[in-house]
Amino acid sequence: MKLRKPRPEVGVVMGSDSDWPLMEATVKTLARFGVPSESRVISAHRTPHLARAYAASAARRGLRVIIAAAGGAAHLAGVLAAHTVLPVIGVPIEGGRLKGLDALLATVQMPAGVPVATVALGPAGAVNAAILAIQILAQRRSALTVKLQQYKRELEAKVRKGNAQVQLQMRKIHG
């Protein structure tokens, strides 16, 4: 008997396969919380028909949130948001001559009626996109809320441990 793979709830879309090393953290964070996801490489400019079809079919296929990562012109999140009623989270990718500023501005500056939630550039943005998607899903799944509360406690413990280490170093310096 074959076990059935859970249906993806979050779609992770990137404009290029070169975005995968960053977006892998998104997929791993989702998996850590037990949220099934799918990943695709779709370009807003080179494969616009695929972007439209992906977004238009997302809800019907069971997705509840889309995370879109792109650099440069970074129109991917906006194009996907234009073709779905699902929440779309944009991850601007660092790089190029403007070091990601162009991607950040393109992702965050959406016209009224086509929202894209935008997270930070870089690794923090990749993780935060997953956490935001999980928070959205947790509105209907109390088990995810419990996992998020535990995650927050782990973050707090990490900061407390870091502070204790700094205080120890300070005592060594100041005697």
What range defines the domain where residue 149 resides?
A: 142-175
Beta strand ranges found along 78-175 (DSSP E): 88-92, 117-118
Whether residues 104 and 171 share a domain: the answer is no
Mean of per-residue pLDDT scores for the chain: 95
Strand order in the sheet with 65-70: 37-41, 10-14, 65-70, 88-92, 117-118
Residue 67 tokens, joined: 């995370």
Mean pLDDT of 42-67: 97
Say if 111 falls within a structural domain: yes
Burial 28-42 (b: 16+ CB within 10 A, else e): ebbeebebebbbeeb
160: number of Cβ within 10 Å: 10
- Is residue 157 over pLDDT 80? yes
Say if 1 falls within a structural domain: no
- Is residue 4 over pLDDT 90? no
Per-residue model confidence (pLDDT) at position 5: 84
CA 5 to chain centre: 22
Whether residues 77 and 28 share a domain: the answer is yes
**What pTM, to 2 d.p., does this model score?**
0.93
Domains: count for the chain: 2
Mean pLDDT of 102-117: 95
Residue 1: pLDDT band with limits 50, 70, 90? low
Mean pLDDT of 112-138: 97
Q: Which residues contact 41 (CB under 8 A, 6 or more apart)?
A: 13, 14, 15, 16, 17, 19, 20
Mean pLDDT of 165-171: 95
112: number of Cβ within 10 Å: 5
- Is residue 2 over pLDDT 90? no
Say if 71 falls within a structural domain: yes
- Is residue 175 over pLDDT 90? no
Say if 58 falls within a structural domain: yes
Mean pLDDT of 122-132: 97
Whether residues 75 and 151 share a domain: the answer is no
Give the rounded percent of residues in the chain with a pLDDT score beyond 90: 91
Whether residues 21 and 98 share a domain: the answer is yes
Whether residues 123 and 146 share a domain: the answer is no
Q: At what angle do helices 20-32 and 122-138 cross, to 10 degrees?
A: 30
Residue 22: pLDDT band with limits 50, 70, 90? very high
Say if 112 falls within a structural domain: yes
Q: How far apart are CA 77 and CA 68, in angstroms?
A: 5
Q: Which residues contact 148 (CB under 8 A, 6 or more apart)?
A: 33, 131, 134, 135, 138
Per-residue model confidence (pLDDT) at position 3: 75
For 74-100, how does the pLDDT look when each residue is reduced to its tens digit (9 = 90+)? 899 999 999 999 999 999 999 888 999
